[in-house]
């Protein structure tokens, strides 16, 4: 039992009600060119539009102009806490420009292409991609489809698409510098999957930072994924490997660091007394774990905002100011790092 359905009021109704032609109404209601309308008519039209409760029909305008004021966002997993703030940033930028955002979770990479096809059918004006592996053919597919697109969080190394990313190398340098300043020398790295740009970038960041300090190259164990389980497994491998135990471990992200926590605790080692640990992302609640995690905070929301802004620039035909925006991460020192026990 719905209430009386509100009678759809169109631009035509507004036109007849205010005694002008539809095209005049169309112009009056478009901010971009209401200036070409006389003050009186403008006021009249706006008034009657409000009075009648006129709501423009975007579907009609989309059909005519080919622009829907809609963008798509492809995420691997909205449940992963790095993505909500990114999405929030995108959404905020979109709202500020009068755009809406379609979100699609692309759990299985296989689904990306069909989802993209459906988004094209919906006539999206542009696309923000937070997925894409290294050398992903999807990027070519997107470019060839002639769609405006940008990447966020994961850079496109080949530069085929604009991107907004955090500086992975700097992030790892911040972690290493901190550990070195505390007096650590034997530093290991639990690296992210080397199939993904961030995995590579962070590993290189650790390596470079250690070189800069003229310290030996880190022992590196690669994780299968950015998960706690993968972190556990990698930490186990690290502990079981020969040689002296590292004094500190730089982890590719917080979940992996927490996986390392699990294994170290099970092995009877204390953090940070026996070993220091750093993460990356500053996920919610990592300040509540035991011990609170020293990590790298990323400007996730800002990343989303910037990516969306770049996209809108492209959509609106302006020259892009930059093809890659790199934002600065920040070190957050907590209790999982300390000077080594024995000098």
Partner DNA sequence: GTGAAAGCGCTAACAG
Partner DNA sequence: CTGTTAGCGCTTTCAC
Q: Does 127 bind its own copies (CB under 8 A)?
A: no
Q: Does 266 bind DNA (CB under 7 A)?
A: no
* Pair of tokens at residue 287: 């300040």
Pairing assessment for the beta strands 295-297 and 324-327 based on DSSP bridges: unpaired
Choice from 16, 21, 33, 63 touching its own copies (CB under 8 A): 63
Q: Which of residues 130-159 bind its own copies (CB under 8 A)?
A: 143-146
Q: Does 85 bind its own copies (CB under 8 A)?
A: yes
Q: 251 phi and psi, to 5 degrees?
A: -100, 150
Question: C-beta of 20: minimal distance to DNA in Å?
Answer: 4
Specify burial of residue 191 (Cβ count, 10 A radius: 0-12, 13-18, 19+): buried
Pairing assessment for the beta strands 187-191 and 163-166 based on DSSP bridges: unpaired
Choose the one of its own copies, DNA, none that binds residue 30, judging by a C-beta under 5 to 8 angstroms depending on kind.
DNA
Choose the one of DNA, its own copies, none that binds residue 23, judging by a C-beta under 5 to 8 angstroms depending on kind.
DNA
Helix 83-96 to helix 300-315 angle (10° resolution) is: 40
* Pair of tokens at residue 316: 């609106």
Q: Does 36 bind DNA (CB under 7 A)?
A: yes
Choice from 3, 5, 26, 97 touching DNA (CB under 7 A): 26
Q: Does 11 bind DNA (CB under 7 A)?
A: yes
Question: C-beta of 56: minimal distance to DNA in Å?
Answer: 4
Torsion angle of C-alpha atoms 258, 259, 261, 267, degrees rounded to 10? 170
CA triplet 124, 126, 127: central angle to 5 degrees?
105
Choose the one of its own copies, DNA, none that binds residue 157, judging by a C-beta under 5 to 8 angstroms depending on kind.
none
Q: Does 57 bind DNA (CB under 7 A)?
A: yes
Torsion angle of C-alpha atoms 227, 230, 235, 240, degrees rounded to 10? 170
Q: 284 phi and psi, to 5 degrees?
A: -55, 140
Applying CB under 7 A, which part among 26-34, 181-189, 223-231, 290-298 lies near DNA? 26-34
CA distance 308 to 85: 13
Q: Which of residues 254-283 bind its own copies (CB under 8 A)?
A: 258, 261, 283
CB 45 within 8 Å of CB 88: no
Question: In the 8-state DSSP scheme, what is residue 330?
Answer: E
Torsion angle of C-alpha atoms 176, 182, 184, 188, degrees rounded to 10? -30
Q: Does 63 bind DNA (CB under 7 A)?
A: yes
Choice from 56, 107, 216, 284 touching DNA (CB under 7 A): 56
CB 291 within 8 Å of CB 336: yes
Choice from 12, 50, 118, 270 touching DNA (CB under 7 A): 12
Q: Does 91 bind its own copies (CB under 8 A)?
A: yes
Applying CB under 7 A, which part among 38-46, 175-183, 242-250, 256-264 lies near DNA? 38-46
Q: Does 68 bind DNA (CB under 7 A)?
A: no
Q: Does 41 bind DNA (CB under 7 A)?
A: yes
Choice from 41, 78, 239, 269 touching its own copies (CB under 8 A): 78
100 beta partners: 70
CA triplet 14, 18, 22: central angle to 5 degrees?
50
* Pair of tokens at residue 199: 């995995």
Q: Does 64 bind DNA (CB under 7 A)?
A: yes
Binding interface with its own copies (CB under 8 A): 2-6, 55-60, 62-63, 68-70, 77-79, 81, 83-85, 87-88, 91-92, 95, 98, 100-105, 115, 117-123, 143-146, 258, 261, 283-286, 288-290
Binding interface with DNA (CB under 7 A): 8, 10-12, 20-24, 26-27, 29-30, 36-38, 40-42, 56-57, 60-61, 63-65
């Amino acid at each position: 039992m719905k209430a009386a359905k509100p009678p759809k009021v169109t631009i035509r109704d507004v036109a007849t009600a205010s005694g002008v032609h539809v095209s005049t109404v169309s112009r009056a209601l478009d901010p971009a060119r209401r200036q070409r309308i006389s003050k009186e008519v403008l006021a009249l039209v706006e008034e009657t539009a409000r009075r009648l409760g006129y709501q423009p029909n975007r579907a009609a305008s989309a059909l005519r102009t080919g622009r829907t004021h809609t963008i798509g966002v492809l995420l691997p997993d909205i449940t992963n806490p790095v993505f909500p703030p990114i999405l929030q940033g995108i959404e905020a930028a979109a709202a500020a420009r009068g755009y809406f955002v379609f979100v699609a979770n692309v759990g299985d990479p296989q689904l990306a292409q069909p989802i993209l096809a459906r988004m094209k059918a919906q006539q999206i004006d542009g696309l923000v991609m937070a997925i894409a592996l290294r050398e992903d053919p999807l990027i070519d597919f997107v470019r060839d489809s002639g769609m405006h697109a940008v990447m966020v969080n994961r850079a496109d190394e080949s530069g085929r698409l604009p991107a907004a990313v955090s500086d992975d190398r700097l992030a790892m340098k911040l972690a290493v510098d901190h550990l070195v300043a505390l007096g650590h020398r034997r530093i290991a790295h639990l690296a992210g999957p080397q199939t993904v740009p961030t995995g590579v970038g962070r590993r290189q960041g650790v390596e470079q930072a250690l070189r800069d300090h003229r310290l030996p190259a880190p022992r590196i164990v690669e994780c299968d994924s950015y998960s706690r389980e993968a972190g556990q497994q990698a930490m186990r491998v690290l502990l079981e490997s020969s040689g002296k135990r590292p004094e500190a471990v730089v982890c590719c992200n917080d979940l992996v660091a927490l996986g390392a926590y699990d294994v170290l605790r099970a092995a009877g080692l204390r953090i940070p007394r026996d070993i220091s640990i750093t993460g990356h992302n500053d996920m919610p609640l990592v300040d509540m774990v035991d011990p609170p995690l020293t990590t790298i905070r990323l400007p996730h929301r800002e990343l989303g905002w910037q990516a969306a802004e770049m996209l809108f620039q492209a959509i609106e035909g302006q020259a892009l100011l930059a093809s890659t925006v790199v934002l600065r991460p920040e070190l957050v020192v907590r209790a999982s790092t300390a000077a080594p026990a024995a000098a």
